[in-house]
């Protein structure tokens, strides 16, 4: 997504290192692309962890690309926010073209095409365009987003176990959207959906030590 702001901290580096360590043997044993999902609630560090993980893979000689769920929403961010204001029941995985993410992953895995065409969001312009991504030599597809644990084409699922109350400071750092009581309602709905996905994960990354006693959503 154009205009995304990443604030990479030690927590993200440690999380990415843990995921890479869990993947390393798989990468050595196979020559075909592996899809790795990095999921969790808003502000948990998905984008930052995915960026560091992709860098680790590239440094080790495994070409990695990142597919951001934010690029696959049916509406661009500000429009999607307005749609939610009109009907809060819109909040959920049905806002995202998960089937298109699955299709793009499959296209990369099969290697039938030299490139894929995927959506590309411009946050500031509130628009959705397209970009072409060459697929040659890709070994790792890092797919990050709130609902990516549910992707059938994922070969390994990492889940960052931080709820929206624990991630408040991280969300403030990224300044993606104004904090409000309405946003808290949205985040609670997402929490109810996403928390159920943890059991599907191959690796659960715990919250930082200083967040673990934060009151859990009720």
SS3 152: coil
* 183-217 per-position pLDDT tens digit: 889 999 999 999 999 999 999 999 988 776 665 66
User: Using an 8 Å Cβ cutoff, are 137 and 61 in contact?
Assistant: no
User: Given the DSSP bridges, would you call strands 138-144 and 156-161 parallel, antiparallel or unpaired?
Assistant: unpaired
Whole-number pLDDT of residue 214: 64
Residue 109 CA to residue 161 CA, distance in Å, equals 28
Whether the predicted pLDDT of 17 surpasses 60: yes
For 132, phi then psi, to 5°, come to: -105, 130
pTM to 2 decimal places: 0.92
**Model confidence band, residue 166 (pLDDT cutoffs 50, 70, 90):** confident
* Residue 61, phi-psi category: left (phi > 0), alpha (psi -120 to 50), beta (remainder): left
Confirm whether 14 is domain-assigned: yes
Per-residue model confidence as pLDDT tens digits over 52-83: 999 999 999 999 999 999 999 999 999 999 99
198 within 8 A of 161, measured Cβ to Cβ: yes
* 82-136: pLDDT as tens digits: 999 999 999 999 999 999 999 999 999 998 889 999 999 999 999 999 999 999 9
1 lies in some domain = no
The two three-digit tokens of residue 117, written as one number: 């065409």
Other CB atoms within 10 Å distance of the CB of residue 197 = 19
Domain housing 163? 10-207
In a domain? residue 212: no
CATH number at 141 reads 3.40.50.300
The answer to whether residue 216 is domain-embedded is no
**Is 215 among the domain residues?**
no
In a domain, 106, yes or no: yes
- Is 195 domain-assigned? yes
Give the number of domains in the chain: 1
| Residue 197 placed within a domain | yes
């Amino acid at each position: 997504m154009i205009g995304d702001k990443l604030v990479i901290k030690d927590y993200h580096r440690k999380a990415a290192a843990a995921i890479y360590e869990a993947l390393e043997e798989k990468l050595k044993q196979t020559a075909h692309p592996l899809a790795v999902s990095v999921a969790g609630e808003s502000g948990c560090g998905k984008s930052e962890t995915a960026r560091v993980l992709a860098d680790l893979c590239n440094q080790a000689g495994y070409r990695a690309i990142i597919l951001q769920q934010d690029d696959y929403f049916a509406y661009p961010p500000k429009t999607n926010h307005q749609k939610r204001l009109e009907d809060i029941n819109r909040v959920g995985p049905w806002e995202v073209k998960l089937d298109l993410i699955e299709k793009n992953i499959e296209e990369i895995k099969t290697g039938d095409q030299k490139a894929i065409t995927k959506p590309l969001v411009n946050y500031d312009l509130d628009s959705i365009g397209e970009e072409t991504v060459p697929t040659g030599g890709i070994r790792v597809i890092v797919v990050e987003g709130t609902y990516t644990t549910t992707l059938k084409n994922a070969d390994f699922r990492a889940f960052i176990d931080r709820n929206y109350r624990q991630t408040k400071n991280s969300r403030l750092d990224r300044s993606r959207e104004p904090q409000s009581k309405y946003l808290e309602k949205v985040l609670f709905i997402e929490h109810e959906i996403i928390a159920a996905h943890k059991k599907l994960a191959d690796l659960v990354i715990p919250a930082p030590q200083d967040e673990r006693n934060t009151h859990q959503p009720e």
